[in-house]
């Protein structure tokens, strides 16, 4: 089961931005209490300041599969065409970031699996 610390997720966000992807300044890694009180971290943002909190995290927690959660809104959101286009761009970034995080998690699990040999197990 992979562990995603706040520090690791911050590094992955930097790497994602370094690849040339447009990433909103509102994308943040926030603390999340994991098993045994460990800080697992999760990615959060407020889409276009629309008061729609969005989280990107493993689904279920501890999985290599990542999902996007949009919190419920109390009020309707109305936008003009230009603002809706901006939102669609931000949603595309969130989708690509989610795929990137899932790929990084899979690579992390595979790297750990490759490091386990009979010798490291004392066999």
Concatenate the DSSP letters of all residues of 57-115 into one string. EESSTT-S-EEEEE---SS-----HHHHHHHHHHHHHHHHHHHHHHHHHHHHHHHHHHT
Confidence tier at 1 by pLDDT (50, 70, 90): very low
Q: Residue 64 pLDDT more than 90?
A: no
Is the residue at 67 inside a domain?
A: yes
User: Quick one: average pLDDT of 110-123?
Assistant: 64
Q: Residue 75 pLDDT more than 90?
A: no
Is the residue at 100 inside a domain?
A: yes
Is the residue at 1 inside a domain?
A: no
Neighbours of 22 (CB within 10 A): 10
- Could you tell me the residue range of the domain that residue 40 belongs to? 6-114
Is the residue at 122 inside a domain?
A: no
Whole-angstrom Cα distance, residue 99 to residue 70?
17
Is the residue at 109 inside a domain?
A: yes
pLDDT at residue 60, rounded to an integer:
79
Is the residue at 120 inside a domain?
A: no
Domain count, the chain: 1
């Amino acid at each position: 089961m992979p562990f995603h610390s706040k520090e690791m997720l911050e590094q992955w966000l930097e790497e994602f931005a370094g690849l040339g992807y447009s990433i909103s300044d509102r994308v943040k890694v926030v603390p999340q209490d994991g098993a045994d009180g460990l800080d697992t971290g999760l990615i959060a943002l407020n889409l276009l300041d629309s008061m729609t909190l969005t989280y990107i995290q493993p689904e279920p927690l501890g999985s290599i599969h990542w999902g996007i959660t949009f919190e419920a809104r109390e009020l309707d959101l109305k936008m003009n065409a230009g603002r809706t286009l901006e939102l669609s761009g931000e949603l595309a970034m969130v989708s690509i970031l989610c795929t990137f995080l899932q790929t990084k998690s899979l690579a992390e699990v595979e790297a750990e699996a490759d490091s386990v040999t009979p010798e490291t197990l004392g066999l």
